[in-house]
Amino acid sequence: MQSPQSSTEGLKAVPWPVWAIFVLCLIPELFFTGSDLGLWATPRTRMVGFDYLGFWAGLLADWQPNFALQPWLMFFTYGFLHGGAVHFLVNMSTLFSLGTPVARSVGSRDFLLLYAILLVAGGLGFALFPETSAPMVGASGALFGLAGIVLSWDFQRRRRLRQTLLPTVQSLAMLAGLNLVLWWAMNGQLAWQTHLGGFVAGWIAAYIVQPYHRRP
């Protein structure tokens, strides 16, 4: 059992960019959850938010945007919206577990830059393989990108030290299996394209941005 002091120390160890992303996701989710429960606004408020800030692949074709910059801003804004409290909680727990070590390894500035790139990459993945006209929301594209960074660093380290690559391969297989299970459980409504786009971008980015202890 963890003591209250160790829990507090663990929270203090979370870099501020991770907290900032968490807050930017928390604020709209609190507002939308309150509207879902009828505490304020209307139950349609979440969908209105999706209309303006979600990722709509059709906007890259011939759809008319709600405002001029929407087709560009949606590559970032979709990642701060979620489909409900469960979606939000799962993604935020993943953010803390993956974002903390990456942010501590590369520093605040590089982490924020990487996170923005991963959001865009997730959006591009969804746009390249659109399977639905529905909006895409959620931080999971960037989160799979963080997983790609962590696994890519591990892959590079193992190759450098001539260690077995089996643990990395097993982790990749687990991620692929997780996507298959979620896709099945969600009746095909999983944005696997976003996960793939973020992951590939993260894997590649890990060759460019190295942890501090690996830099010359």
Q: 10-residue block means of pLDDT along the chain (216 residues)?
A: 56 91 98 96 95 97 95 98 96 97 96 98 95 92 97 96 94 93 87 96 96 62
- Is the pTM higher than 0.75? The answer reads yes
Q: Which residue has the tokens 């501090």?
A: 212
Residue 55, classed as helix, strand or coil, is: strand
pLDDT in tens, 49-86: 999 999 999 999 989 999 999 999 999 999 999 999 99
- pLDDT number for residue 48: 97
Amino acid making up residue 119? L
Report residue 164 as tokens: 């077995």
Does CATH number 1.20.1540.10 belong to domain 4-211? yes
| Cα separation, 191 vs 196, whole angstroms | 9
- pLDDT number for residue 197: 97
| Cα separation, 67 vs 77, whole angstroms | 14
Q: Where are the domains of the chain?
A: 4-211
- pLDDT number for residue 214: 56
Burial of 153 (0-12, 13-18, 19+ CB in 10 A): buried
- pLDDT number for residue 213: 58
Q: Please, what is the end-to-end C-alpha distance for the chain in angstroms? A: 40
What is the number of helices (H) and of strands (E) in the chain?
10, 0
